[in-house]
Amino acid sequence: MERPCVRVAREDGEATRQLLDDAALLDHDHEIVHEDGELFLPVTDPAAVPADLSVVPRDVPVREGQTLPADILGFEPTYERLGDIVIVDEDDDERAREVAAAIMESSIPAETVLNRASKVKGEQRVREWDVLAGDGTETVHREYGSEFLVDVAEMYFSPRLATERHRVVQQVESGERVFDMFAGVGPFVIPAARRGATAVGADINETAIEYLRANAERNGVADRVTAIAGDARETTGEYAGWADRLVMNLPHSADEFLDTAVELAGEDCVLHYYDIQHEDDPYGPGEAAIREAAEPAGYDIEVETRHTVRSYAPHELNVCLDVRLF
């Protein structure tokens, strides 16, 4: 069966396999293939694979003894995994339940199957779910060596952003002061603290903040993590001028928080600003908004990276600007 695979030299195979597995990208339902000094590692989401790795289509055998949903259904359903939860996105209820039954019957290690029942909505960025199989909406997600307890019915969390989070966190140096203004359960905060940073996360969702605190304990970094429940514009005054690095992953409305971000920034601060814009000018509006907020406060601006995270909708891109304020 042809699957997307990461192609690497055999000597790099184990390190790459571990990286993909830590990011929950390794496809455990298919075998790793060795040919002519290269390894082909099947992956679940080629779009999330780091850009420095080569992804190619390759025929790889189903792992022996594995039964996949497609073997039962006769077609390839679309699904993603979050811990032991499998998430589908089916409009037809009958088809959704057919897919869920096949997933539970297959060799996939699933305890629960959920179907998206609404879009992300509200200031707490949650969505409604239909529980098709199993019980509950809480799971433990593993990502690049960190563990996150998450309840998808109570807070926003996207496993598809694992590679982007890793890209940002890899820039963090020990001793930095990192502030995530929309922290959720801590997917930026926890790995930053694991790299030796002092990290603060704020979120208006009080339940998410409770999970952030639990995740700090789970990952052994509670001594370097502070979690603040509330709107970052109203609850972070004691951190004025504190941050060496700011994360603003609220792409529909991050611009509304830029004045607060400038107040939090130290003398030399890197801002990771997420935005959703039309493909004709995906970065311009964000750059203009940052300059409008930062330059009156006396900062010079240097855009270090203009990065497209993913396609969000037809002709719309989810982008990130890595901007130094100094």
- The identity of residue 145, as a single letter, is G
Q: What CATH number is attached to the domain comprising 6?
A: 3.30.70.2580
Domain co-membership, 239 together with 285 = yes
Predicted confidence (pLDDT) per residue in 89-102, tens digit: 999 999 999 999 99
Rg (CA), the chain: 21
Confidence bin at 326 (pLDDT 50/70/90): very high
Burial group, residue 85, by CB count within 10 angstroms (0-12, 13-18, 19+): buried
Length of the chain: 326
Q: Is residue 121 predicted with pLDDT exceeding 90?
A: no
pLDDT value of position 315: 95
User: Six-digit token pair at 308?
Assistant: 């497209």
Backbone angles phi, psi at 71, to 5 degrees: -65, -30
In a 3-state reduction of DSSP, which class is residue 256?
Answer: helix
Parent domain of 36? 2-59
Q: Is residue 209 predicted with pLDDT exceeding 90?
A: yes
CA distance 154 to 172: 29
Predicted confidence (pLDDT) per residue in 213-252, tens digit: 999 999 999 999 999 999 999 999 999 999 999 999 999 9
CA distance 211 to 205: 10
Helix (H) or strand (E) holding 81: strand 79-82
Q: Is the dihedral of CA 260, 265, 267, 273 positive or negative?
A: negative
- The partner residues of 301 in beta bridges, in order of sequence, read 325
pLDDT value of position 236: 93
Domain co-membership, 320 together with 175 = yes
Angle at 164 between CA 181 and CA 154, to 5 degrees: 55
pLDDT value of position 24: 84
CA distance 151 to 114: 12
How far apart, in Å, are the Cα atoms of 111 and each of 84, 103, 154, 246?
A: 5, 10, 18, 36
pLDDT value of position 47: 85
**Contact criterion met (CB below 8 Å) for 169 and 192:** yes
- The partner residues of 148 in beta bridges, in order of sequence, read 141
pLDDT value of position 208: 97
State the DSSP code for 61.
Answer: P
What percentage of residues in the chain have a pLDDT greater than 70?
100
Domain co-membership, 22 together with 106 = no
CA distance 215 to 37: 40
Domain co-membership, 54 together with 74 = no
Q: What CATH number is attached to the domain comprising 113?
A: 3.30.300.110
Among the three residues 136, 167, 192, which one is the final residue of a domain in this structure?
A: 136
pLDDT value of position 75: 94
Q: Is residue 51 predicted with pLDDT exceeding 90?
A: no
Domain co-membership, 49 together with 74 = no
Total structural domains within the chain: 3
Confidence bin at 135 (pLDDT 50/70/90): confident
Confidence bin at 277 (pLDDT 50/70/90): very high
- The partner residues of 308 in beta bridges, in order of sequence, read 319
